A and B are shown apart, each in its own frame.
Chain A
Amino acid sequence: MNRRDLLTLSPPPSKQKQDFSHTARTSTGLTPYAGPWTIAEVKHLLRRAMFGAAKADVDYFVNAGFTNTITELLTPGTAPTPPLNTYTSQYNDPNVPFGQTWVTAPSDPNATGLRTKSFKAWWTGLMLNQARTIEEKMTLFLSNHFSTETAVVQDPRYSYKTNALCRQYALGNFKTLTRLISLDPGMLKYLNGYLNTATAPDENYGRELQELFTVGKDPNGVPYYSESDVQQAAKVLTGYRIDNVNITSTFAPNSHDTGNKQFSAFYNNTIITGQSGPNGALELDDLLNMIFATSQVALFICRKLYRYFVYYEIDAAAETNVIVPLASIFRSNNYDILPVLDTLLRSEHFFDVLNRGELIKMPLDVTVAACRDYGVVFPPAATNLVGQYNLWNKLYQQASLMTQTIGDPPNVAGWPAYYQEPDYHELWINSSTLPNRNLFTDTMLLNGYTSSGDNIKIDIVAYTATLTNPVDPNLLIQEVIDRHYSTDVSQTVKDYLKNILLNGQITDNYWSDAWNDYIGAPTNMTYYNIVLTRLRSMFKYIMDLSEFQLS
């Protein structure tokens, strides 16, 4: 399948970007940050490096200190257990017992849909239960960078494998990952690499490898590489096959184009010498060495990381002070991702107050983050594996309603929020998705989501009880704002929030008494409902305000 026709990488002509050239900007660079280390800084960091900023995580890292925090966030963890068969009640998979994984089982058309659902639920579960590291945020970044779609690949075993590869290399070597992605059976299937032969070349992967995965295009949208480079790269990549039993790729020398491949001036007129027999597979490394020898790869990837972790607009100062030196670090470390992230996340640029709160939350930063921030409890695997997957799937669906469908981005370019000029992140928010975001948080506060009798919802009373001083309405409101908004709000807004808690009364004691009544008799439903109703209203208001959509 040719994905090209789905791509529109240029902005719609009618769209005129508002002029924000006068907006206050920063010229800070990669000098290590040396400012205060409080909830504000940790929240800023975690909301970008993880999903949300759960109170326990924020408190933990405030205590750990700046240096240790970055180090811990960038420490790789262990590979998770693969997705499981929880769909027996819908289809009795003959090859996979209930509770066992299907990722190595034989292909089964009857199970494809259910396994795909399982894959997406499982991935959602990994984000929900992430360790205190950047790995899941980076796995998502890489899965979106090396974008594939389960709906096209048509076999979730492949999609799982591509996903696991991205997770394995979340903090690994980007060049090695690019090599493995080029050989990944899921990607070979998605971009027709397995159909690319000497006699019937298919340029699909050869093009995306350069345009979307490595060198990119210049600021005017003109490719650095030539059309001939696409054809030559495609020839290098001829001969790969998929082993559908072992879900691996193989190399078929007979299908490989053994001729020399001549590249353009952009690649210094490199000639990749054609090789025959099994050695034909060695040409891939020649190709990647040539591509990664250009200066554009590091710049392209660093810009994309910047757009994911900092902000989408890269002004001249950010290009000079952040992107260029980061790219230099990337190349001098032979494309290891970790030093780049380490430098960026430790930088004064990253923590600059002018760079806080400017990221529009991606849908998963609403759905997954809400569950983590408010400690939403899912059914435990030990006693209710089916319920756990069902509710993970519910959460997956909610993000999908906000246009972030993990496993099925719109096309090979991934989500437009990370490439589409000039709107970028603003593409997450429109008159359909914004109400869906509000409906999601409203629902989580009220009835939650239910599947086969299992339910997830925000227990806002229990959450409030974890805060430092919930009995004092002023301190309570301040802490909630500190933890859930990117910036402080005016006294007017705080007064308004207090008005909700006090039900229009003027004395703080009314809230304090109500809270103390509840704490003194937590099983008294009347007391519980009094605080529940007011907290629900206040948090609904907080989450419905536009401020909540920014991190």
Chain B
Amino acid sequence: MKRRRFISALSAATVVPAVLDGFSLKTFAASPLLQALAAATDNDHVLVLIQLSGGNDGLNTVIPLDQYSQLSTARNNILIPSSQVLTLSGSPLTGLHPSMTGLQQLYNNGKVNIVQGVSYPSPNFSHFRATDIWLTASDSAQTLTTGWAGRYLDYEYPNYPAGYPNSTMPDPLALEIGSVVSLGLQGPAVSMGMSITDPTNFYNLINGIQDPAPNTNYGRELTYVREVSQQSQAYASVIIAAANAITSQSPSYPTAGTNSLADQLKIVARLVAGGLKTKIYMVSLGGFDTHSNQVDFANQATGNHADLLSKLSQAVSAFQDDLNYLNVSGRVVGMTFSEFGRRIISNGSYGTDHGAGAPMLFFGDAVQSGILGANPTIPANANVNDNIAMQYDFRSVYSSVLNEWFCVPTTDLSQIMLQNFQLLPIIQTTACDVGVHELNQKAGESLVWNYPNPFTASTYVTFKSTGGHVLLQVFSTEGKLIKTLADGEYPAGTYDAWYENEGHAAGTYYLRLQNEALQQVKNMIVVR
């Protein structure tokens, strides 16, 4: 496929992080270049993207305690009292907002990675534009119409939606809990994701928000179309089956309806544990645009932002607890992002205006726990337009996740990310299993077939090699090897073989192709 030709000449020169300011990384393991040697693990990795809409105030989320005096100058009216900042074990100079007790505990248990100062050159301060930049992974001045996750899924499953669902990928590639699929999941031709709001009542789901059908002919036909809509969702049954497979979840979640993010993540946990092979889930929590009343003026540790962070922390903590409870915590990594951070200096209405860099949080069993990057340096006399310094490009973070969690080879990253970005140690190096990608990428493609079929005496067998060793064999349905048609090195291409039925009985035979890590089996039918 042509995508292979897009590989940039630069991509071989993968940048190994040369300077890492992370002073509290508990594990700082081998570079991604060594991943080919990584031990095989499960290949069913799931990434959960948590979008914090509105622009999260990073300085009040992950608090640089060594900058406290500067902060008290710059944002005194919203500053969290230092005595209430939650401490992180092993990281005495960095703390969390007091409402994030759940995340604090996860961090102390080694399940959280904080990436400091994530932004991009020339940050944009418009919600819409900045959101699009984060979802498409574009440069500040560049407009892309595809999402970064969508491009990854298109790379991994290039034929989608033709040939899907199939046995290799029977489930949706990506699910968004909500009613509209995000720009982040937009592929070059189609959206690579689908949205659901409630996996058990699928009917209500795919139609998004559904008004009741009136008692008229209009209502009658509307009901009919909705029923067909339900039936025609290729993925409806697998999603319902996955949801129904889980009858008990962790009791840690807050009461349904009180924390929308927790409600969404509860669905994600259920579907992951229920067996969906879906790679990416998107969930979101809105309200972070805290221009005013970010904090309660009487108690700066409380207020709107505290409530939002409390929801985030509770939701993530309950989710992680549930993943443990459901025995799937090894499969899931979560990541928060927001379109921007907020300004260093607070404004007069107990809030903050649109800013730039902010921390991203990763959580899960597989993350390299700790803090990547240094505390931001707050100037002693910050100006109103000052933002914290960018330490990492958000696309470096994406590239690292693709490479370290979805096991995209470093040589292929630039196809998805469109440039080369520095790779960061975010996921433990044991996470990747080589070869999964090829299997997925070929899932919709026929690699071997025969003609005529059925046949009586003989048939042509055509097979494709992606290069390397090919083994092409005919088996009886009992598993007996009837004939080996090819066994050797075949450069990438399409080949023919000739199979003569030498007196075997009429019936079905298996034609099996093995090409390096790929394998495919087709039925051949002999008739008299």
Contacts and interface: CB of A to CB of B under 8 A. Distances in A.
A150 interface: no
Nearest to B53: A504
B221 interface: yes
Contacts of A139: none
A23 B215 contact: yes
Contacts of B228: 429-431, 434
Contact of A541 (B131, B208, B218): B208
B216 interface: yes
Interface in A339-356: 354-356
B208 A503 contact: no
B209 A492 contact: yes
Contacts of B127: 503, 505, 510
Contact of B218 (A356, A434, A446, A500): A356
Interface string B227-266: 0110110100000000000000000000000000000000
A550 B219 CA distance: 10
A489 interface: yes
Interface string B188-231: 01110000000000000001110100111111111011101101
Interface in B155-192: 179-181, 183, 189-191
Given A434-B228, A504-B54, A541 B180 contact: yes
Contacts of B141: 526
B143 interface: yes
A422 to B, nearest CB: 12
A546 B210 CA distance: 9
B404 interface: no
B167 to A, nearest CB: 21
B226 A546 contact: yes
B209 A496 contact: yes
Interface string A497-514: 000100111110010001
A546 B191 CA distance: 19
Contacts of A525: 143
A425 B217 CA distance: 12
B126 interface: yes
A313 interface: yes
Contact of A496 (B54, B181, B208): B208
Given A24-B215, A505-B289, A533 B132 contact: yes
A20 B220 contact: yes
A530 B136 CA distance: 12
Contacts of A23: 215-217, 219-220
Contacts of B207: 545-546
A305 interface: no
Nearest to B191: A442
Query: Chain A CB within 10 Å — which of B129, B191, B217 has the most?
Result: B217
Contacts of B284: 504
Contact of A358 (B183, B218, B287): B218
Interface string A359-386: 1100000000000000000000000000
Interface in A493-551: 493, 496, 500, 503-507, 510, 514, 525-526, 529-530, 533-534, 537, 540-541, 545-547, 549-550
Interface string B111-139: 00000000000000011110110000000
Nearest to B212: A490
A493 B284 CA distance: 19
Interface size bucket, A side? 35 or more
Given A442-B190, A529-B132, A429 B54 contact: no
A278 interface: no
A358 B189 contact: no
Nearest to A531: B128
A546 B222 contact: yes
A500 B180 contact: yes
A431 B284 CA distance: 31
B31 interface: no
Contacts of B349: none
Contacts of B218: 354, 356-358, 486-487, 550
B348 interface: no
A505 B220 CA distance: 36
A549 B222 CA distance: 8
Contacts of A358: 216-218, 220-221
A546 B203 CA distance: 11
A18 B218 CA distance: 15
Contacts of B216: 23-24, 354, 358
A504 B190 CA distance: 23
Interface string B44-61: 000000000110000000
A446 B179 contact: no
A439 B189 CA distance: 11
Contact of B286 (A505, A530, A547): A505
B183 A533 contact: yes
Contacts of A546: 207, 222, 225-226, 229
Contacts of A429: 224-225, 228
Contact of A526 (B143, B189, B211, B224): B143
B225 A549 contact: yes
Nearest to A355: B217
B299 interface: no
A424 to B, nearest CB: 10
Contacts of A503: 53, 127-128, 131
Nearest to A487: B218
A14 to B, nearest CB: 16
A446 B221 CA distance: 28
Contact of A430 (B180, B183, B217, B232): B232
A191 to B, nearest CB: 34
A526 B144 CA distance: 10
A330 interface: no
A506 B229 CA distance: 31
B145 interface: yes
* Minimum-distance CB pairs A-B, first 10: A431-B232, A358-B217, A504-B53, A357-B218, A546-B225, A504-B286, A529-B143, A530-B128, A546-B226, A358-B218
13 contacts: A23-B215, A24-B214, A358-B217, A359-B221, A446-B189, A487-B218, A492-B209, A503-B128, A510-B128, A526-B143, A529-B143, A530-B128, A534-B128
Interface of A: 18, 20, 22-25, 311, 313, 354-360, 425-426, 429-432, 434-435, 439, 442, 446-447, 486-487, 489-490, 492-493, 496, 500, 503-507, 510, 514, 525-526, 529-530, 533-534, 537, 540-541, 545-547, 549-550
